[in-house]
Structures are given as structure tokens and as C-alpha cells.
A and B are shown apart, each in its own frame.
Chain A
Amino acid sequence: MNLVNALNLSYLLASVLFIVGLKQLGHPKTATKGNILGAVGMFIAVVATLFDQQIISYEWIAIGIAIGSIIGIILAIKIQMTAMPQLVAVLNGFGGIASVLVAGSALQISIPKYEYLVNYQEIISIVFSAIIGGVTFSGSFIAFGKLQGLVTEKAVRYPGDQVVKIIVGLACIGLGVYSTLYPTNEPIYWILSAISLLLGILLVVPIGGADMPVVISLLNSYSGIAASATGFVLNNNVLIIAGSLVGASGIILTQIMCKAMNRSLTNVLFGGFGAVASEMKDDGDFYHGKIKSTSAEEVAMLLDIARTVVIVPGYGMAVAQAQHAVRDLYQLLTARGIDVTFAIHPVAGRMPGHMNVLLAEADIPYDRLKEMDEINSTFENVDLVIVNGANDVTNPLAKTDPKSPIAGMPILDVDKAKTVVVIKRSLSPGFAGVPNPLFIADNCLMLFGDGKKATQEMINALKES
């Protein structure tokens, strides 16, 4: 067996490990193993590649892998669990830019050959890598910036923005076609890459912060497609297979998320929550004189007589780093014989499943977390609901106002409980930018304050009572 066959069989083995690994990542019991299998697959593919005869210079590879590994390890270990969506966005962006650079490098090598004969599969794939990889890179970093608060979370819209996007998109296609027809004109490739970066920015900036999880998932899918395109450039099966697997899984996750918000992908990409929000009237009148605000002591009294309590964690809880305080409250209440569960909305936090990760980090038992469908029918029998930093996912407008931007989005029916306490810093609207009628409901009390501080005050008040 010659070396090429051995190499390709190693790539096949890696591909199988990726497929099995992804499959196992989809089940809670096998997820850890699935992730390890994926990593082993990657390791095999890398080591096999290093044995390829085409590779003769190892210094730069070794230095590059060392630098990349150190950065990757630091990022993965230092990152706060609340910032997970941002990290996924950044890593995704790195994958995208790597595809652009690899394709550019392949073009470099092929240009002398193109003087005589153009390999169209190769050049078309190079162009695809540049466009998709470029959009993935800049789009991911804008998504990161939005979640990190470096770029405005609002949907940035301006008159004619769709037209601008179309023009830049057409410019990409035009340059791509030109690059394919005249591949020896190398600067065009880099101009194309630059315009693709611009396109990524233009595509993501108009999308509001609330939709970033969907955008990140979609860009994740793009990064897979970009890797796949690079596979077409290099005629490398493992790149094609791994890339298309990621592309497909990203699309599925995107669909699931859109469904959880009852929105179409087109609406997410071109509509935008925030765009509607800016047209909404001022919230001042909406709440004026109808809000009942409460104190931690009063809530402690309510908790004293409660039998069943449901806690609804939201992103506000996450940014306040309140998950550990919430865990303490949970333990205190449970010790007093109160039945405490957590209601998890499918898009609570900033990524589906993000809230589960945060609560798991704080050692809250997994069986206490209830999915929306499971808990919604039980709210009528709940004595007290504590909404900690969640807004849109509890907004009854989703059911009552067909014109609202969140219309039709499944929500947690907390308003059916006997009493609802909402911990929130102010009456500011949530991501969707709409007022929440829950706050003025008869059975709702507002506890204004930071999610962590308010929870700690509740704990202290409970201990003293």
C-alpha cells in the first residue's frame, strides 16, 4: 500500500469519527464521548497530513500550531460560561478566515499553471472559499461585538440598506466571475476577499442582538461550507465531508432556533426585531401608575408561605452572574420543604441550551430544570414564580398582539401563577423592544435591582424571618 492510499484511509477514518462524534453529541449520555471522538478524528487527520510527502517544511507548522493551541487553550479555559456565545462566534470567525487564507495560498501556487491551463474546479472553489470564508469571518466578529457590547446591539437600519447589501453582494459575484475568467490576476482575489468581509459586516450589523444566536448558528454552517469549498480546492475528501457535516448541522440548529421563536430565517436576516422596536411608542405611559414594586423582605414573606416555586432564569440573570446566588436560594427553599423547579425557555439566555449550561455550572440538579412544554400546563398550581432577568420569553403580548414583533413566539405562561415576582433592573424593554403587560398584571410584583443582589437580599431576608 502506498503512502497516498494510507493517507486517504486515515482521512476516511477521521471522517467516520466526525460522523459518529456528531451523532453522539446529539444525546446527553454520549455527548462527552462524541466530542472526544471528534477531537481524535481531527488529531488523526492532522498527523496523517504531516506524513504527506508534499509537506517538507515543518518549522512554521510547529510554531503555528503551538501559537494557535496556546491561544485556543487560554480562550477555552478563561471564558466565562455566560460569554459562551461570543466565544463560539470568535472561533467560528477564525475558521472562516483560515479558509480564505488557504484558498489564497492555493491560488498563489496555481497561478503559474494557469498561464497554460486553468483548472476551473479549483478556481471556482477558491472563489467560493473567499466569499463564504470572508462573510463568516467578519460576520462572526460583528456578532461577537454585538454580544460583547462593543457594537450596538440594536438592529442598525438605514434607508436603502437592502439595496446596499444587494449591490455589495452583486459586486462579490461579479468579482468572483472575473476572478474565475482571469485567475492570473491575483489582486482581484484579495479585493474579492475584502469585499466579502464588507458583505459580512453589512449582513450582520442590521440584525438585532436577540437574533445573534441564530446568526451565529448560521455562520457556523457557513464556516463548514467554507471548509468544504477549501476541500474542493485541494481535492481533499476529509475537508469536504467534515465541512458539509458542519454545514448541515448548522442549518438544522438554525431551523430549530427559528422555530422556537416562531420566525422565519428570512425574517431574522432581513426583518429584525429591533427595526420594529424603533417604531414603537415610548413605554412611559404604558407602565405609568400601574406598577407594584416590592422589596426582598416582602418576597421572603411570600416565599415563607409558598409550597411550590418556579424560577425563570433569563439573560439578565446570566449577565448579573447570579446563577450561584440562585442556587443558594434554591437550596435554602428546598431545605424548607418547598418544591422548586426552573422553567427554561428554548431561547432563554443567548443561545439555545445556554441557560442549562449556566445552571449546571452552578450545580443545580438537572432534573429540576423543566422545558417550556413540560412546565407550561402546571403554572396554575404554582404559588410563586420568580422571574430573574427574563423579559421577552414571559411576555403575554406574544399571544395577544398579532402585530407585536414577538407575535406567535411560544412563551412561559408565568402570568397564570398565583403571584409573580419579576426581578429586573428597570422597566426597559427586552431585546424585542416591546413593553411587557405582565409587569402591570394584578398578580405581578416588580423587584427592581440587579439579579444577583436582589437574590442575595431575598436569601438574607429569608434567613432572618
Chain B
Amino acid sequence: MEIFVTAVTIFVLAIFVGFEIITKIPPILHTPLMSGSNAISGITLIGALYSSGLPDNNITKILGFLSVIFATVNVVGGFLVTHRMLAMFKKKD
């Protein structure tokens, strides 16, 4: 129970931080922000690494392996395409 309460505390506080840091985003950045935050949601990759790397269970290994692939596509594709978009804004400066 103690762990759970700590986890909920972190969860709620992080939501507030999320609301606070993303205010008044100029419209030109909506798309990059969406794809950038999308990449961060690929943090599930950490969970995928755990299930993929555990010993002695073939089913978790398969599930883990697939989730590593999916999450990595999310992370790598997300950060990279955001960078590509932002680079287009940059070169005109």
C-alpha cells in the first residue's frame, strides 16, 4: 500500500507539472510538440526491456521482444521526425 500511495503521489504531481510547463504554446509548435511528447510516451520501452530480459519464460520473452520493437519505433521515429520538423524552422534564422 505504501508503495502505491507514493506512486499515486508522483503520478498526480507529474500531471500538474505537465499542465504547468505546457502553457501558451505558439500554434507553429503544436505539431512538433505533439510528435515530441509522443516520443516520450515511448518510455514504455523501459517496461519492454524488463520483460524481454527476464530469464526462463518464453512467453514473456516473446511479448517483451515485440514490445521492445514497437516501443523503439515509437521512440526513435518520434524524436527523429520531430527533429526533422524543427530543423525546417531553424534554417531560416
Q: Which residues of A contact B (CB under 8 A)?
A: 15, 18-19, 21-23, 25-28, 31-32, 34-36, 38-39, 41-42, 45-46, 49-50, 52, 54-58, 60-61, 63-65, 67-69, 71-73, 75-77, 79, 81, 84-85, 87-88, 91-92, 94-95, 97-99, 101-102, 104-106, 108-109, 121, 216-217, 220, 223-224, 226-228, 230-253, 256-257, 344, 346, 351-354, 356-357, 360-361, 363, 365-366, 369, 371
Contacts and interface: CB of A to CB of B under 8 A. Distances in A.
Nearest to A230: B47
Interface residues of B, number: 81
Interface string B33-46: 11111111111111
Q: Which 5 A-B pairs have the closest CB atoms?
A: A68-B72, A248-B18, A72-B76, A64-B68, A55-B53
A18 B40 contact: yes
A94 B48 CA distance: 12
Nearest to B87: A32
A357 B12 CA distance: 34
B31 A353 contact: yes
B51 A106 contact: yes
B41 A67 contact: no
23 contacts: A26-B21, A31-B33, A38-B79, A42-B75, A54-B50, A71-B72, A72-B80, A73-B77, A76-B78, A88-B78, A91-B81, A97-B67, A97-B70, A121-B3, A223-B38, A231-B11, A235-B7, A237-B7, A244-B18, A246-B40, A250-B37, A356-B89, A366-B89
Identify whether the interface residues of B are mostly helix, strand, loop, or mixed.
Answer: helix
A240 B15 CA distance: 10
Contact of B47 (A233, A253, A346): A233
A233 to B, nearest CB: 7
Contact of A238 (B43, B61, B64): B43
Given A26-B21, A220-B37, A35 B15 contact: no
A73 to B, nearest CB: 6
Contacts of A91: 35, 38-39, 42, 73-74, 77-78, 81
Nearest to A120: B4
Nearest to A84: B31
Contacts of B64: 60-61, 64, 101-102, 105
A57 B61 CA distance: 9
A133 B84 CA distance: 27
Nearest to A18: B40
Contacts of B85: 81, 84, 357
A22 B22 contact: yes
Contacts of A361: 88
A206 B73 CA distance: 28
Contacts of B78: 72, 76, 88, 91
A56 B55 contact: yes
Given A68-B75, A91-B81, 8 more contacts: A68-B76, A71-B73, A72-B75, A88-B35, A91-B78, A239-B46, A256-B30, A356-B89
A226 B44 CA distance: 9
Interface of B: 1, 3-4, 7, 10-12, 14-19, 21-55, 57, 59-61, 63-90, 92
Contacts of B41: 92, 95, 220, 223-224, 226-227, 242-243, 246
B29 A26 contact: yes
A98 to B, nearest CB: 4
B37 A246 contact: yes
B77 A60 contact: no
Contacts of B21: 19, 22-23, 26, 245
Contacts of A231: 7, 11, 47
A95 to B, nearest CB: 4
Contacts of A97: 67, 70
B17 A19 contact: yes
A253 B34 contact: yes
A360 B92 contact: yes
B30 to A, nearest CB: 4
B40 A220 contact: no
Contacts of A360: 88-89, 92
A15 B10 CA distance: 11
Given A71-B69, A91-B39, A365 B27 contact: no
Contacts of A52: 50
Contacts of B82: 25, 35
Nearest to B46: A49
Nearest to B51: A105
A26 to B, nearest CB: 4
Nearest to A235: B3
B69 A67 contact: yes
Contacts of A354: 30-31
Contacts of A35: 32, 36, 39, 79, 82-83, 86
